[in-house]
Amino acid sequence: MNTLSKLLVLFLVGMTAVSCQSSVDFSRTTLPVDQQPDPPINSASLAYELSQKTWCSNDEAFSMMLLMVAEEDRCLNFNERHIELTVKGLADGSWNLNPSDPVTKGTLAFMVIRAINLKTGVMMYVLPSRRYAYREALHHQLMTPGSVHEPLTAPEVIGILGRAARWMEN
């Protein structure tokens, strides 16, 4: 193999390794339980706060999901919530979301479908994505029709999570 071929192979291997890295910083900054500055967030207070707002941010939706599946949210920021949900298999580590942007139907559908262990179709099994998760949520009447990229209002998020919680009980 000549030098040019070796350099080309080395370049391709390097580009593959760099492109496969997750966009989420997986370093933890969570304090131990005894050093938490504020009491942990509870679902009732967060639901009340959301009921007073128009839009539900990604950060608030991620916090509600943690409260639904783990019954506590001790994370200090959005990145930690994203990591925690990714570890639990409820989010994708490659999502590049702004914490203050409104949560979309596709993002919430993906997390809800995974959280309630809903039996899904072939496409969600083969290509798990927010698009197919939203279709499954529509099929099971967890969400209303619209676009996968449509932002959700805070009352809609509370309603969807309420339906998901009832689904988990059955």
CB atoms inside a 10 Å sphere around CB 34: 5
The reported pTM is 0.75
Residue 146: what pLDDT? 92
Residue 109: what pLDDT? 95
Centroid of chain to Cα 56: 13
Per-residue pLDDT of the chain (170 residues; tens, 9 = 90+): 577 666 556 655 555 555 554 555 545 555 565 655 455 667 777 777 877 888 999 999 999 999 888 888 888 899 999 999 999 999 998 999 999 999 999 999 999 999 998 888 888 888 889 999 999 999 999 999 999 999 999 999 999 988 988 888 87
> CA geometry: angle at 144 spanning 141 and 147, to 5°?
125
8 A C-beta contact, residue 95 and residue 40: no
Residue 147: what pLDDT? 93
Closest CA to 114 of 130, 99, 101, 98: 130
Residue 37: what pLDDT? 47
Residue 106 exposed, middle or buried by CB count within 10 Å (0-12, 13-18, 19+): buried
Strand-pairing partners, residue 104, are 151
Q: Helix, strand, coil % (nearest 5) of the chain?
A: 55, 5, 40
Q: Output the six-digit token pair for 47.
A: 């639901």
Domains of the chain, by residue range, sit at 39-169
